[in-house]
Amino acid sequence: MPLDDQHTATISRRTVLHAGAGLLGGAILPSFSLAAFAADDKPAIGTWPAGSQGDTVYIGAAVPLTGAYAVQGADELKGWELAVDHINNGHNLIKAIAPKIDKGLLGKKVELVSADSAAKPNQAVEVEQNFINQNKIILMTGSTSSAVAVALNKFAQREKVLYVAGISGSNDTTGKDCVRYGFRQNFFGQTAAAAIGPVLLKQFGKGKKAAFMTPDYTYGHTVTKSVNDYLTENGGWEMVTNQVSPLGTQDFSQYLTNIANSGAEFLINVNWGRDAVLSTQQAKQFGLLPKMTLVIPYQIPFLAKEVGPEITEGVFAATDFWWTQEDQYPLAKQFVEAFQTKYGYRPEWGAENSYVSFAHWARMVSEAGSFYPPDIIKQYEKGETIPSLLGDVHYRPEDHQCIRPVVIVRGKAKKDMKNDEDFWEVLEVVPGEGLMQKPDAFGCQLGDYT
């Protein structure tokens, strides 16, 4: 073999080997790089992945079991408990909302841990912080006071742990205080006002004088503003007085005296929980009811039971759900039956909101196939049409508010009640889309995913 040929051959072989190695390396390297990139793509965040590495994943609820909202809090807690029970047992109802659930969530048992928040924001945050430390919870819930919902929203965003609101009626929860990590299923001030406003104007006409009773925090102020804005702009109603009381007020005599001297024809009571019970009962004591017409723009679970149908008869209210809707909605019927079997009474809307918000979360997790929070958030933000107890709904990606119907009810007379829980007659189910404000109307800026 000539030298040159040998040289050529040697170089040629090396070149081929190099080229082969290069090609092989080139072929292998991208897959290594991609694998390395995938691991870095989901760095640990919040309680992920630690919270979902065991056989059980935990949810933390900070719920008021004492104070002015204790009654509603206990009802909410039952809704969450039932949802968790259904998730773990693959109940037909939860599967109708989240079809990929099969006795647990992504192969893991779900457990609910809860503690009293007393409807106080600082206590609620403390409770959730403990759950994060001790249980590495992957989801937070709780509220019944929007002050708590707003505080937990901010806490969720800071800790990067998802939060689904319990009862929260303030426009701010998915408005100026919205966060990427927070979601709300239930109706709120704006949608309540837009739903009940036309009913009031149709029933009572224009140019009326109304006295408002408002609890002194975000829920009260935003609901009163929304309702008053609607009635003023569309019906020329006048707010003759707005009596603002601190949460937990027991004696409303001074507020009611001001209302008695205001010339109001309507008493629009935005108070909630025990405050609503006491203010309504005392309005009756002072003779304001039935002289004035009572309106409850944001219905309070158990109000009718506590004050009696003598007071709620003929009263218009907006709500999230009323149990007699089981006659129109098959899923509502399943829910009411399951709840009543387990707890011995028919659920109010706090329990309904709890159940549905957990079912929706479970759907998002199972559809995303991941507990990684940004994956779940993005699943919500697809805005897909999904079932609820009252038909199809969807979450708005811009502010994480569920677009869902608002139910208008009127109090029944005692003689018309078919059983001892048949307090309200459903007048109308108003579709949610037309009730919503523009996504940026309340100043929502969601914040970051990571």
Partner 1 sequence: MINWANFISQCFNGLVTGALLALISSGLTIIYGTLGVLNLAHGAMFMLGGYAGWLAYSYTGSYLAAVAAGSLFVMVVGVVMERLIIRHFYTRPHEDQLLVTFGLGIVFVEAVRFFFGSLSQTVPPPAALAGITNLGFMIYPTYRLALLGIVAVALLVLYFVLYRTRIGMIVRAGIEDSVMVDSLGIDVHRIFMLVFGIGAMAAGFAGIVNAPVVSIAPDVGEAILVQTFVVVVIGGVGSFPGAIIGGLIAGEIISITSMFNPGYSYIMLFVAMTLVLVLRPHGLLGQAGRE
Tokens of 136: 């590495």
Residue (77 or 149) nearer to partner 1, CB:
77
* Residues in 24-63 that interact with partner 1 by CB under 8 A: none
CA distance 82 to 413: 32
Selected from 49, 198, 248, 447, the binder of partner 1 by CB under 8 A is 248
- Using CB under 8 A as the criterion, what x/- string covers residues 249-288 for binding partner 1? xxx-xxx-xx-xx------------x--xx--xx--xxx-
CA distance 331 to 356: 11
Stretch that binds partner 1, among 70-78, 84-92, 181-189, 331-339 (CB under 8 A): 70-78
Residue (135 or 282) nearer to partner 1, CB:
282
- Using CB under 8 A as the criterion, what x/- string covers residues 305-344 for binding partner 1? xx--------------------------------------
CB of 218 to partner 1, least distance (A): 15
Q: Is 68 a residue that touches partner 1 (CB under 8 A)? A: yes
In 262-412, at which residue ranges do the beta strands (DSSP E only) sit?
Answer: 266-269, 293-296, 316-319, 386-388, 391-395, 402-403, 406-411
| C-alpha distances out from residue 280 to 106, 131, 185, 415, Å | 47, 37, 28, 21
Q: Are 151 and 217 in contact (CB under 8 A)?
A: no
| C-alpha distances out from residue 208 to 40, 234, 267, Å | 62, 12, 11
Residue (52 or 242) nearer to partner 1, CB:
242
CA 416 from chain centre, in angstroms, equals 32
Stretch that binds partner 1, among 135-143, 238-246, 313-321, 393-401 (CB under 8 A): 238-246
CB of 253 to partner 1, least distance (A): 5
Residue (286 or 449) nearer to partner 1, CB:
286
Q: Are 245 and 255 in contact (CB under 8 A)?
A: yes
Selected from 45, 113, 201, 244, the binder of partner 1 by CB under 8 A is 244
Nearest alpha carbon to residue 77 among 93, 60, 94? 60
Amino acid letter, 3: L
CA distance 281 to 261: 18
Residue (59 or 277) nearer to partner 1, CB:
277
Which residues in this chain contact partner 1 in the complex, by CB under 8 A? 65-68, 70-71, 74, 216, 243-246, 248-251, 253-255, 257-258, 260-261, 274, 277-278, 281-282, 285-287, 302, 305-306
